[in-house]
Structure 1
Amino acid sequence: MSVEIQISENATEAERLGILSPLLAHNLSNGGDDAHETFALLLRDPDNNEVIGGLYGKVSYQWLLIDLVSVPESMRGQGIGERLMRMAEDIARKKNCTGIWLETFSFQAPGFYLKLGYSEFGRLADYPPGHTRLYFQKLLR
Structure 2
Amino acid sequence: MERQGKNREGGLFCETWSYGLYIDVFWIADEYRNKGYGKVMITEAERLGKEIGCIFAHTCTFSYQSPEFYKRMGYEVFAVNDEYPEDIKQFFLKKKL
TM (norm. structure 1) is 0.62
**Structure having the larger proportion of residues in strand:** 2
Structure-1 residue corresponding to 2:50: 93
Q: Does 1:60 align with 2:17?
A: yes
Q: Any residues of structure 2 matched to 1:111-130 within 5 Å, and which?
A: 111-127=68-84, 129-130=86-87
Question: 5+ residue gaps in structure 2?
Answer: none
Question: How much is the aligned-residue C-alpha RMSD, in angstroms?
Answer: 1.3
Aligned residues: 93
Alpha-carbon distance, 1:51 to partner: 1.6
The whole-number CA distance in structure 1 between the counterparts of 2:30 and 2:94 is 25
The whole-number CA distance in structure 1 between the counterparts of 2:86 and 2:74 is 28
| Structure of higher CA gyration radius | 1
The 3-state SS of whatever aligns with 2:14 is: strand
Tell me which amino acid in the other structure corresponds to 2:6: E
Alpha-carbon distance, 1:50 to partner: 2.0
Structure-2 residue corresponding to 1:51: 7
Question: Which structure exhibits the higher relative contact order, with contacts defined as CA atoms closer than 8 Å and separated by 6 or more residues?
Answer: 2
Alpha-carbon distance, 1:109 to partner: 0.8
Alpha-carbon distance, 1:126 to partner: 3.3
Correspondence for 1:110 among 28, 53, 67 = 67
Correspondence for 1:72 among 29, 50, 59 = 29
TM (norm. structure 2) is 0.89
The whole-number CA distance in structure 1 between the counterparts of 2:92 and 2:76 is 8
Q: Does 1:138 align with 2:95?
A: yes
Tell me which amino acid in the other structure corresponds to 1:130: D
**Structure having the larger proportion of residues in helix:** 1
Structure-2 residue corresponding to 1:37: none
Per-residue Cα deviation, 1:102-124 (whole angstroms, up to 9, x for no partner): 00001111111111110000010
